[in-house]
């Protein structure tokens, strides 16, 4: 983050090492990447706030419009809509999987609503990891010194819309002090100084549709920035209404801290190691120290499948390997945790569409 007296000099210096071009309401910026890294990257981490301060200065001084498409790599660009000094919307369209490993950002103090429409990604913060697969909605607030690192789980490109804001923005717009805001929208409560606080939401159809609408807007239209801002406001409202609705229903949304995610990863590894054992939710709850809601809801939000679905996946994939090695269906059933061969056969057919005998035919 830049001090107030550093912003203008830094912005002007980067502008001298960048090329600018206009396409309607969008300013395309290609910075000299070596210069950019010297000024904004410390220990392989981009100072995200500092870069936004520079973009905001460019817009205020007429160097750019309030919509920038910044080339971060010859194959990767990011679109930023500057909605104020404490609010932005970014759009990632078909981001190549091989480039995601390079993306590490210092996002201290920001609240991010991420609506992912495509991609299988691991997000790493502090020393914990969060897997998001295909469609996902994540609300997170990052404490001091928090970094966010993306890494792809496969070759599928990533497409997402991110609405970022400082909690102070909501305090100002809603006329609420910090205490009232935290009580009203408990999930947005501030993180501790060095803690990242999450609210992982089941993909809300309206929020997903709003994100798709943003991606489908005609960029050549002179009203494009206004249309994006309008939908972004609607997206934030939908998120807050979703949180308020869940709070009214007993605050059933899953809030996971670093320690919860660490325990859920332990549960995942336990299933991978002991899939042949009768692993009940009660047993896994005792093992992890998590209550049933965090165990079942948190597991699905982190890994995209339920606890039981992941257990079945481990049993079936290992069963397939055993059958290929020449074991009989009866022996394979016992090896992967089924007491009755008939139960194993039914489960195998549901999973693969064929019986073990048909699979080996």
Q: Identify the CATH class of 4-248.
A: mainly beta
| Domains 4-248 and 257-361 belong to one CATH topology | no
Do the Cβ atoms of 292 and 281 come closer than 8 Å? yes
Q: In angstroms, how far is the first alpha carbon of the chain from the final one?
A: 64
pLDDT in tens, 203-257: 677 888 999 999 999 999 999 999 999 999 999 888 887 776 655 554 455 667 7
Compute the 3-state secondary structure of the chain and give helix, strand, coil in percent, each to the nearest 5. Answer: 45, 25, 25
Query: Could you tell me which CATH number the domain at 257-361 has?
Result: 1.10.10.60
pLDDT in tens, 251-308: 455 667 778 888 888 998 899 899 999 899 999 999 999 999 889 888 877 776 789 9
Segments making up each domain of the chain, as ranges: 4-248, 257-361
pLDDT in tens, 113-136: 999 888 877 777 655 666 666 777
Torsion of CA 183, 187, 193, 195, to 10 degrees: 150
Mean of pLDDT over the chain: 83
**Which pLDDT value is given to residue 133?**
66
């Amino acid at each position: 983050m830049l001090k107030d007296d550093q912003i203008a000099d830094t912005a002007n210096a980067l502008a001298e090492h960048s090329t600018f071009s206009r396409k309607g309401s969008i300013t395309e910026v290609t910075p000299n990447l070596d210069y950019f890294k010297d000024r904004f990257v410390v220990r392989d981490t981009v100072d995200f706030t500092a870069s936004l301060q520079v973009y905001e200065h460019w817009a205020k001084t007429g160097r750019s419009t309030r919509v920038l498409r910044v080339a971060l790599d010859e194959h990767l660009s990011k679109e930023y809509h500057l909605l104020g000094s404490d609010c932005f919307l970014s759009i990632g369209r078909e981001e190549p999987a091989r480039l995601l490993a390079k993306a590490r950002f210092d996002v201290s103090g920001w609240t991010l609503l991420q609506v992912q429409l495509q991609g299988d990604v691991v997000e790493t913060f502090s020393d914990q990891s969060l897997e998001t697969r295909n469609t996902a909605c994540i609300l997170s607030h990052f404490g001091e010194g928090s970094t966010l690192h993306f890494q792809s789980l496969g070759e599928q490109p990533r497409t997402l819309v991110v609405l970022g804001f400082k909690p102070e923005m909501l305090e100002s717009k809603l006329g609420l002090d910090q205490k009232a805001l935290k009580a009203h929208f408990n999930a947005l409560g501030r993180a501790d100084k060095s803690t990242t606080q999450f609210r992982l939401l089941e993909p809300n159809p309206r929020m997903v549709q709003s994100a798709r609408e943003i991606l489908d807007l005609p960029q050549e239209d002179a009203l494009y920035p206004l249309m994006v801002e309008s939908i972004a406001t609607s997206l934030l409202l939908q998120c807050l209404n979703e949180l308020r609705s869940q709070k009214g229903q007993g605050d059933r949304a899953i809030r996971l801290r670093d320690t919860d995610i660490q325990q859920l990863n332990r549960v995942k590894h336990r299933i991978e190691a002991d899939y042949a054992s009768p692993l009940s939710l009660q047993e896994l709850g005792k093992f992890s120290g998590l209550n049933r809601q965090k165990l079942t809801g948190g597991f699905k939000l982190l890994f995209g499948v339920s606890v039981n679905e992941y257990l079945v996946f481990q049993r079936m994939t290992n069963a397939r390997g055993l059958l290929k090695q020449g074991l009989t269906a009866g022996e394979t059933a016992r090896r992967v945790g089924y007491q009755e061969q008939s139960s194993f056969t039914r489960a195998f057919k549901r999973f693969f569409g064929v019986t073990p005998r048909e699979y080996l035919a």
